[in-house]
Chain A
Amino acid sequence: MEHAASHHKHHHDDHHDQESLKTLGFWIFLVTDCILFGTLFATYVVLRTNTAGGPVGKEIFDVAGFVAETFILLTSSFTSGLAVLAMHKGKIKELITWLIVTALLGLAFIGLEINEFYHMVMEGATISTSAFLSAFFTLVGTHGLHVSFGLIWMIAIMIQLGRHGINPVTSRKVYNICLYWHFLDVVWIFLFTVVYLMGVM
């Protein structure tokens, strides 16, 4: 690797290009994820009235629960934004703190969602009860899986920040996880509207 050392500056430029390339790719990945959720939403909308004698949305959605989930997730999106601001100022401790806050809020969200699902299943509203509930659990569950995946990823990035500090590679990673986090927030707003609000109307 002695050659790499002698071309250190050059190396640095190549890295910059590569990081911006990866962020562009991540944006396109988000486009595909958008279509994935779009397909799930379309399926849900088609099947939402097919309750087959099972419970309807009004009977099983807990208003206090999903409102709490919404506020927690929206707040976590805000704190992830604060993390990126801290990164731009080069303040590593502040950055990691905000990421921890974001992750904890995400964890609380997942906890509430598991609790919600658990209660529904206990009341006999399971994924195999009706087409409506299959679509509900799949759509909301896919979002929940995305958030859980994001949590593990965020923890991995925090460890890397601790090891390497803020450099082009780690800041690209922080930027992308926050993009992902905001994206999940946007998806949730649609879930909140289409599934929960229209469900209890």
Chain B
Amino acid sequence: MWEKIKDFASTFFVTGDPLIYGADVAIVLTTFAIIFVLTYYKKWGWLWREWLTTVDHKKIGIMYLIASLLMLFRGGVDALLMRLQLALPEMHFLHSEHYNAIFTTHGTIMILFMAMPMMFALFNIVVPLQIGARDVAYPFLNALSFWLFFFGALLFNISFVIGGSPDSGWLAYPPLSELSHSPGVGQNFYIWGIQISGIGSLATGINFLVTILKMRAPGMKLMDMPMFTWSVLATCILIIFAFPILTVTLGLLFVDRFFGGHFFTMDGGGNPMMYVNLIWMWGHPEVYIVILPAFGIFSEIVSTFSRKKIFGYKSMVFAMMIISVLAFFTWVHHFFTMGAGADVNAFFAVTTMAIAIPTGVKVFNWLFTMFRGRIQLKQPMLWTLAFIPCFAVGGATGVMLAVAPADYQYHNSYFLIAHFHQVLIGGVVFGYLAGIYYWWPKMFGFKLDERLGKWGFWLWNIGFYVCFMPQYALGFMGMTRRVYTYGWDLGWAPLNFTSTVGAFLMGAGFVFQIWQIAYSIKHGERDRTGDPWNGRTLEWSIPSPAPHYNFAVIPQVKGPDAWWEMKKEMQQDGTKKKPVQLKPIHMPKNSGIPFIMSVFWFIAGFGFTFSWVWMAVFGLIGVGICLLARSFQYDTDYYIPVKEIERTEKALGRAV
């Protein structure tokens, strides 16, 4: 019996690596600490009522934000471990299998469990406030999306202490990811972690599309919408068309591994190249899914901190719409070397270069917005200014990669690594960080400290160039991606060492940002006006943080930059806002079902991962029962009485 348990434990838990044992101890201690704190301060009920069951988009946004920062930390540690291993030739810091697992989890976590939730955080916090709505179209579904993401991410992350991490690259190309080459459970964690959170992402896409189309304040036409809302609309369309492909692709890989199918195997007529096509049909739109909202954020910030309306509003909208269509016609550029033929490669080379045109239009529009504006160099604006040159260089190297014949040289080299990190860090990460600094007062009611923020900003920026510029050169020198070590004779040592220094500078930047948050909670400048940046859009017309129901009275919109126009009107009239008749506000009730259903999804995913069919079936039945329970629920909403609204508004310093 004892022997059996020991046997099971030695395969169930990841063993034999001091780094992992350290992580085990840290996880157990943190878990106990959390349980202790919650119990000691009697916070379990509070946690359940205020957070786990909430359907409030603002709270869901904050939970997304916290989760994404944790994932940024995890993915960042992965990156630093890789850079340590590569700092010098013939290092013995990580062995090859461990290195494989780390570059896999780094990529998957950064895209799917860091960038996506950080994006959804901003969707949730900003969009309903920008369009003058009291919540999203489907608040219950919104909560479900978050918890599916959360438990999907959890399932993926526990793989490094239980069962073993996936190690066949962030997109898990077969046949490497097939049972024949990856017999362990790591790949199953990959499939189910992404599958579960992917359902949530798809639901969010539907949710925000309907929210933007149907829940705008009266008078706000599509062409009056703030630019960030437009970018979310474009992103939602991409999500709706791209994510089902991911669901199917991972589903087919699962059929291969679980039922012995032959979709992508080397025998039985399978075709691994089919997988590569399918995964990039999702994967390429996916990079536009994460970059478009960043474009939206920059548009808001440039306009606010230049005291001008955005230059070329219509061309901005058209550019985003064109990008969202073209995004579906470029996927083959990820594998020009597969041998699809000159005509196919030529088509995809041209579409790829074409997508640089609308992107260029946007860059010029941002520059022209700043031209003769009264620019204020606040933190959000700093990140925006850093983004423009960084993204321009990243875009230019992208066009170099798009030249199909030349790509045979660059393919899978460090040149490619440098390129996509430049657009993803310089574009997506800088964009989301800018957005977080910009909307932070709206989320929490205080600004983040400028001095510490500047330290973080410069460390990130200098670190970025020190880390990735050498990698372009390393690519030309012949260094390919995913090598875990290299020889002294190759002459790659100095550039690799420089690159590692840069990575640690970025890590230091992140530490400064966490310090900045901790410092600002106590000392940050409080925002009592609700409009700390002299903003232009509706989210700045209400107190910070926004009350539960957002708008006591739904605003009437007359054109773009609605709040800016209202402020001008109020100045001209010389009067305060006229008193208005309050009405009871219709709100959705909290629900525990999204959380419980996601727990059952987690159980099902865990069961499938270990091929424990009983557990998987139990989980799926639980999911079904939750769905039925929700279907039979009719009492799902309530009204906030006028008195309570009056009380809340007065407490927030608003005369009603």
Contact = CB atoms under 8 A, between A and B. Distances in A.
B255 A32 contact: no
A32 B638 contact: no
Contacts of B624: 152
Nearest to A32: B244
Interface in B251-283: 251-252, 255-256, 259-263, 265, 267-271, 274, 278
Interface in B462-499: none
B210 interface: yes
Interface in A20-76: 21-22, 24-25, 28-29, 31-33, 35-36, 39-40, 43, 46-47, 50-52
B256 A52 contact: no
A125 B532 CA distance: 68
Interface stretch (B49-57, B558-566, B628-636): B628-636
A169 interface: yes
Interface string B185-218: 0000000000000000010001101100110000
Contact of B271 (A10, A39, A127, A131): A131
A189 B267 CA distance: 31
Interface string A146-163: 000000110011011000
A156 B629 CA distance: 10
A135 B263 contact: yes
A16 B247 CA distance: 33
Given A35-B244, A156-B631, A43 B274 contact: yes
A7 B639 contact: yes
Interface in B198-248: 202, 206-207, 209-210, 213-214, 240-241, 243-245, 247-248
A1 interface: yes
B250 to A, nearest CB: 11
A130 interface: yes
For the complex, would chain B's binding face be called helix, strand, loop or mixed by DSSP majority?
helix
A43 B248 contact: yes
B210 A24 contact: yes
Contacts of B259: 127-128
Contact of A32 (B213, B240, B274, B632): B240
Interface string B285-325: 00000000000000000000000000000000000000000
Contacts of A4: 638-639
A47 B278 CA distance: 13
A153 to B, nearest CB: 8
Contacts of B183: none
A171 interface: no
Contact of B261 (A14, A24, A127, A153): A127
B206 A25 contact: yes
B269 A52 contact: yes
A88 interface: no
A132 B269 contact: yes
Interface residues of A, number: 45
Contact of B632 (A14, A28, A160): A160
Given A7-B584, A22-B138, A131 B270 contact: yes
A11 interface: yes
Contacts of A153: 631
- Which bucket holds chain B's interface residue count? 35 or more
B249 interface: yes
A21 to B, nearest CB: 5
B641 interface: yes
B639 A40 contact: no
A39 B260 contact: no
Which among A21, A39, A152, A156 has the greatest number of chain B C-beta atoms within 10 A? Answer: A39
A54 B272 CA distance: 19
A164 B269 contact: no
Nearest to B267: A52
Given A43-B248, A131-B270, A11 B586 contact: yes
Contacts of B639: 3-4, 7, 11
Contact of B278 (A11, A43, A51): A43
A138 interface: yes
Interface string B103-121: 0000000000000000000
A40 B255 CA distance: 13
B137 interface: yes
Contacts of A29: 206
A57 B632 CA distance: 43
Contacts of A47: 263, 269-271, 274
Contacts of B244: 32-33, 35-36, 39
B278 A10 contact: no
Interface string A119-146: 0000000011111111100100000000
Given A3-B641, A32-B243, A156-B632, A40 B248 contact: yes
B268 A128 contact: yes
Nearest to B628: A156
Contacts of A24: 210, 213-214
A50 B269 contact: yes
B279 to A, nearest CB: 11
Contacts of B214: 21, 24
A49 B260 CA distance: 19
Which among B269, B586, B641 has the greatest number of chain A C-beta atoms within 10 A? Answer: B269
Contacts of A129: 262, 268
Nearest to A28: B206
A134 B249 contact: no
A152 B624 CA distance: 10
Given A39-B248, A47-B274, A28 B263 contact: no
Given A11-B586, A47-B263, A128-B259, A25 B207 contact: yes
Nearest to A132: B269
Nearest to B239: A32
Contact of B256 (A35, A132, A134): A134
Interface string A79-95: 00000000000000000
A46 B586 contact: no
Contacts of A51: 269
A50 B260 contact: no
9 contacts: A4-B639, A14-B586, A21-B210, A25-B138, A35-B241, A36-B248, A50-B269, A52-B268, A173-B631
Interface of B: 137-138, 202, 206-207, 209-210, 213-214, 240-241, 243-245, 247-249, 251-252, 255-256, 259-263, 265, 267-271, 274, 278, 583-584, 586, 624, 628, 631-632, 634, 637-639, 641
The 9 closest A-B pairs by CB, nearest first: A50-B269, A128-B260, A131-B269, A134-B261, A52-B269, A35-B244, A39-B248, A36-B244, A131-B262
Given A29-B206, A31-B241, 11 more contacts: A10-B586, A11-B586, A28-B206, A28-B209, A35-B241, A47-B263, A47-B271, A50-B270, A51-B269, A131-B261, A138-B263
Interface of A: 1, 3-4, 7, 10-11, 14, 21-22, 24-25, 28-29, 31-33, 35-36, 39-40, 43, 46-47, 50-52, 127-135, 138, 152-153, 156-157, 159-160, 164, 169, 173
